[in-house]
Amino acid sequence: MLLATLPAVLELTGPNTRLLFFVNLLTVIAVSTFACTVIVVLFRRSDQRRLEEQRLAAIGIVTARILHQIKNPLQSLILQAELIEQFDGEDARELRRESSAAVVGEAHRLAMMLNELSVWASGARRNLARVPTELHLLIEELVRRERREAERRGVDLELTRLDRVVASVDAYFLRQAVENLLRNSLEAMHGQEDARLRVELERLGSVAAVRVIDNGPGIAAERLREVLEPFVSTKSSGMGLGLPISKDIVEGHGGEFRVESKPGAGTTFTLLLPIDKHAAARSAAIRPGGTP
């Protein structure tokens, strides 16, 4: 409405007033534009500062969590080493053996933490070297390796289904993904009566399904999404990287990572991995003995 009446107003005021009006109008526009630009810049800087503060806070939290988790095994290593120095004579042989075993165990635990950190920091999905791999042999080997640890924790570990499947995967990283799930379940059920852990490999058309099924304490529905985030764990020990790494590895293969759980009813992890045509043809050619 104002712009529509401007020509009539200008006709009444004369050329000098009209020029002055336009100068003032341009000045107002220029000042308004400058003010808006300043406001936008200030908002952007404010957002950048807030994002930087959030980033630094996140780094601080992660660093504190890492230091806390590494400090515990280091303190245990130092304590056990000091005890070994104090043991002397034949009577202390058994004590030395127990302390030496504890040192080795803590060293392995520390190495596993550092390995998880390395895999997480490097981003597994960016470093995959996929080749046709006999998944049934990989899964069978993993279960065999973890059986002793399962027995030590009082868990009945069993391979209940093993279809013969060949898929193009990075065997190193996929082994890491499944191993993380097995250890997660074993730790969750430690000391539990009638603890059972089942592993399955099933071929579903063009997809290979790896399932790790336990009857442990389970995970509440509101925490299912949280446990897949880095540095979040339902256990008192551990860095909370095992599940996120497994998820990252599976998705890096173009697959899908699923978790189904209910408090008191256990947890089922499912890894769905695509089988390409060449791998599928090789899988179909495998004889019952496991060789082409």
Task: List the structure tokens of 66.
Answer: 């890492």
Tens place of pLDDT per residue across the chain (292 aa) = 444 444 444 444 455 555 555 555 566 666 666 566 666 666 666 666 776 666 566 556 566 666 655 666 677 777 777 777 677 666 677 777 777 777 776 676 677 667 666 666 666 555 688 899 999 999 999 999 898 888 888 999 999 999 999 999 999 889 989 998 998 898 888 888 889 999 999 999 999 999 999 998 888 887 777 776 766 665 555 556 778 888 989 999 999 999 999 888 899 999 999 997 665 555 554 443 333 3
Q: Which DSSP string do the residues of 28-94 spell out, in sequence order?
A: HHHHHHHHHHHHHHHHHHHHHHHHHHHHHHHHHHHHHHHHHHHHHHHHHHHHHHHHHHH--SGGGHH
For the chain, the straight-line distance linking the first and the last C-alpha, in angstroms and rounded, comes to: 84
Looking at the chain, the domain(s) classified CATH 3.30.565.10 span 130-284
The reported pLDDT for the residue numbered 41 is 63
Domain 130-284: homologous superfamily in CATH: Histidine kinase-like ATPase, C-terminal domain (3.30.565.10)
For the entire predicted model, the pTM comes to 0.61
d(CA 78, CA 75): 5
CA separation (Å) from 287 to 85, 204, 218, 291? Answer: 57, 19, 39, 6
